């Protein structure tokens, strides 16, 4: 049987294109949000509060969102999420136009965006194996990762420019992008599935069932721990290296370029991830990113400008999409369809918590030791994790092709 290329897969193309547009708009809002709060309130603390509410809402809603995705119609969840985000951001645009925007309103919008993202991401992840053949799932996951990286880079750059044009402009653009995605999703055809009609009071039991599945299945558990540890380390190291670069007198513009190169490495890595996923054993693809980061981390000590640091960051992020593709593909294929929403919800909470804790730990580290010592501590920690990944019997015996759960 001939497999249709993904570019000719109508449903996957609709989902990918709609979300590519939506993610550009969302990233535009996320860079404009703190600028707006700062301009209106003059308070950096209030500016951080808005972004903090968005992140907190995602974490708090993560586990119940995964359970709801498994019991509700997933296409409707995505439609309602896009509609809710369009209404929330649109209401803020109107308030700015009328000159009545308040901090309370902005916090409420951030909370809505966080909850909607907590629901949308598991719904999309759970739908993916039903939209593409198993042999194309890794390619679809890597293309989604590239979409997110490009959307984040484009939206971040666009947000600052549009905010300079007018405070309301980024939020108008974001509203339009969510509406475009909403229309795209309306034409999406997802194969029907049995929807659970259990009482809503059972959701706590279903959340526990999702946690139990992740922890009891050794392949899922070990790959989850790999994803969590990598995200925790890298987010901690990111803060350390910014402080180190600043102490070396690296100009702010070069530090910004360094951060951009992180995204460039991720995009390039996403494009080659399907090929590496096919030719490398899962253990090798996961182990490689850990050792790549371990080797490149101490080299930041001898990089004295943002260009070299950016090149190192691009190298660190280049193999990450391959590891993520391997982990996500195997987890989705190993997990029964009725548990895929909860799998994604649990992973989002675990990885999101690690991403939030990493900068805090990195900040504390550079508070008590100088930048050079902090980098060496990061190197030692990453080397220890890399050794554990290397000797892990579960990863070494990881099946090249995951058995499909039905």
Contact 34, 50 (CB under 8 A): yes
329/198: higher pLDDT: 329
* Whether pLDDT at 390 is above 60: yes
61-65, 113-117, 274-278, 370-374: least confidently modelled range: 370-374
- pLDDT band for position 55 (cuts 50, 70, 90): confident
Residue 197's pLDDT is 60
Least confident of 33-47, 166-180, 213-227, 301-315: 33-47
User: What average pLDDT does range 57-73 have in this prediction?
Assistant: 91
Q: Is the pLDDT of residue 403 over 60?
A: no
208-396 CATH, one of 1.20.1250.20, 2.60.120.10, 2.60.40.10, 3.40.50.720 = 1.20.1250.20
Q: How confident is the model at residue 253 (pLDDT cuts 50, 70, 90)?
A: low
Higher pLDDT, 380 or 193: 380
Sign for the pseudo-dihedral over CA of 368, 372, 373, 376: positive
Give the Å distances, CA to CA, from 347 to 118, 122, 154, 331, 351: 11, 9, 26, 10, 6
- Residue 258 has a pLDDT of 75
Highest mean pLDDT among 110-114, 227-231, 312-316, 365-369: 110-114
* Residue 68 · residue 74 · CB < 8 Å: no
Confidence of residue 151 (pLDDT cuts 50, 70, 90): confident
Same fold for the domain at 6-189 and the one at 208-396?
yes
For the residues 31-35, what does the mean pLDDT come to? 83
What's the pLDDT tens digit per position in 104-115? 999 999 999 999
CA distance to 146, 281, 371, 380, 390, per residue, from 285 (Å): 18, 6, 30, 21, 11
**Residue among 108, 132, 121 at smallest CA distance from 53:** 108
Residue 127 scores a pLDDT above 70: yes
The per-residue pLDDT for 204 is 86
With cut-offs at 50, 70 and 90, classify the pLDDT of residue 406: very low
230 within 8 A of 285, measured Cβ to Cβ: no
Q: By mean pLDDT, which of 165-169, 200-204, 294-298, 395-399 is the weakest?
A: 200-204
pLDDT band per the 50, 70, 90 thresholds, residue 2:
low
Chain centroid to CA 361: 20
CATH for 6-189 (3.90.550.10, 3.10.20.30, 1.20.1250.20, 1.10.760.10): 1.20.1250.20
- For the chain, what are the domain ranges? 6-189, 208-396
pTM: 0.86
Pairwise CA distance, residues 58 & 22, whole Å? 17
- Residue 402: pLDDT band (50, 70, 90) is low
Q: In this structure, what token pair is assigned to residue 170?
A: 């980024």
Q: What percent of the chain has pLDDT over 70?
A: 95
């Amino acid at each position: 049987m001939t497999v249709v290329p993904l570019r000719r897969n109508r449903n996957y193309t609709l989902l990918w294109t709609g979300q590519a547009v939506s993610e550009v708009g969302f990233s535009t809002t996320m860079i404009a949000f703190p600028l707006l709060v700062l301009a209106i309130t003059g308070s950096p603390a209030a500016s951080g509060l808005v972004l903090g509410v968005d992140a907190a809402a995602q974490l708090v809603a993560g586990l119940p969102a995964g359970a709801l995705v498994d019991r509700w119609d997933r296409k409707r969840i995505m439609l309602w999420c896009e509609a809710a985000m369009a209404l929330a951001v649109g209401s803020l645009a109107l308030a700015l136009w009328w000159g009545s925007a308040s901090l309370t309103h902005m916090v409420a919008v951030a909370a809505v965006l966080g909850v909607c993202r907590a629901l949308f991401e598991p719904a999309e992840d759970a739908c993916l194996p039903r939209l593409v053949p198993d042999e194309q799932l890794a390619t679809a996951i890597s293309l989604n990762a590239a979409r997110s990286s490009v959307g984040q880079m484009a939206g971040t750059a666009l947000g600052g420019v549009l905010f300079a044009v007018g405070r309301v402009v980024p939020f108008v653009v974001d509203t339009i992008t969510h509406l475009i995605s909403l229309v795209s999703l309306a034409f999406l055809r997802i194969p029907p599935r049995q929807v659970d009609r259990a009482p809503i009071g059972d959701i706590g039991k279903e959340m526990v069932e999702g946690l139990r599945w992740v922890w009891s299945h050794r392949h899922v558990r070990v790959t989850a721990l790999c994803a969590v540890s990598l995200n925790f380390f890298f987010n901690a190291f990111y803060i350390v290296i910014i402080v180190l670069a600043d102490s070396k007198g690296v100009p702010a513009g070069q530090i910004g370029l360094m951060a951009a190169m992180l995204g460039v490495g991720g995009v390039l890595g996403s494009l080659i991830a399907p090929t590496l996923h096919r030719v490398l054993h899962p253990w090798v693809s996961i182990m490689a990113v850990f050792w790549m980061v371990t080797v490149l981390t101490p080299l930041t000590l001898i990089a004295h400008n943002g260009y070299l640091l950016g090149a190192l960051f691009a190298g660190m992020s280049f193999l990450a999409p391959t590891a993520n593709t391997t982990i996500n593909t195997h987890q989705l294929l190993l997990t029964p369809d009725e548990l895929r929403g909860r799998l994604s919800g649990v992973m989002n909470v675990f990885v999101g918590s690690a991403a939030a804790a990493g900068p805090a730990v990195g900040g504390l580290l550079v508070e008590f030791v100088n930048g050079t010592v902090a980098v060496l501590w990061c190197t030692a920690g990453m080397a220890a994790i890399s050794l554990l990944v290397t000797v892990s019997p579960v990863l070494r015996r990881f099946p090249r092709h995951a058995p499909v759960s039905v």
